[in-house]
Structure formats: C-alpha cells, structure tokens
C-alpha cells in the first residue's frame, strides 16, 4: 500500500520500540554494580569472614558442613 498523496510517513512506529528498548536498557544498567545480598547470602558472607576455628565451632549446629564456609572464606 503506497502512502496517500500529500501525507508524510511517520517515524513513530520505528522510533517507539527503539525508545522503549533504550529506556529498558537504562533501567537495567542503572546501579548494576551495586552489591545486593539476600538474607542467606549475607549470613554466609558473615560466617565465612570469621577465622577457621570459629567457623568449625559455629558450623556444628548448622546444616552446612564447615567445608562449605572454609571454601567460601578462601574464595
């Protein structure tokens, strides 16, 4: 179908999806480097920050074996 005489083609159908994608990309990249730890991750980081004998003693009552925290501390 050819455009009618005297009418101009509109750029809206081409520009709108690109604008939406750029907005989505900007929202995704905003503060992407910010560290976000959930409750279980924060607990693991806190336990792994202790010394090895303390990790061993505290892991006695935990469901994770001490090796998990030792490896996490080394990482």
Contact 52, 72 (CB under 8 A): no
**For residue 21, is it within any domain?**
no
**For residue 66, is it within any domain?**
yes
**For residue 43, is it within any domain?**
yes
What would the mean pLDDT of 30-45 be, rounded to a whole number?
Answer: 81
pLDDT at residue 1 tops 60:
no
Contact 65, 59 (CB under 8 A): yes
- Provide the pLDDT confidence category of residue 10 given band limits of 50, 70 and 90: confident
**34: enclosing H helix or E strand:** none
CA angle 60, 65, 71 (to 5 degrees): 125
**For residue 67, is it within any domain?**
yes
Core vs surface per residue 47-70: b (16+ CB within 10 A) or e: bbeeeeeebeeebeeeeeebebbe
pLDDT at residue 68 tops 60:
yes
**For residue 28, is it within any domain?**
no
> Across the chain, what does the average pLDDT equal?
84
pLDDT at residue 24 tops 80:
yes
pLDDT at residue 8 tops 80:
no
For the chain, the domain total comes to 1
- Residue 45 belongs to what domain range? 39-74
């Amino acid at each position: 179908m050819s455009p009618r005489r005297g009418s101009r083609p509109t750029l809206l159908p081409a520009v709108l999806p690109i604008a939406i994608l750029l907005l989505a990309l900007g929202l995704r990249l905003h503060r992407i480097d910010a560290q976000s730890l959930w409750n279980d991750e924060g607990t693991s980081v806190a336990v792994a920050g202790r010394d090895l004998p303390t990790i061993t003693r505290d892991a006695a009552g935990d469901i994770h074996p001490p090796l998990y925290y030792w490896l996490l501390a080394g990482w």
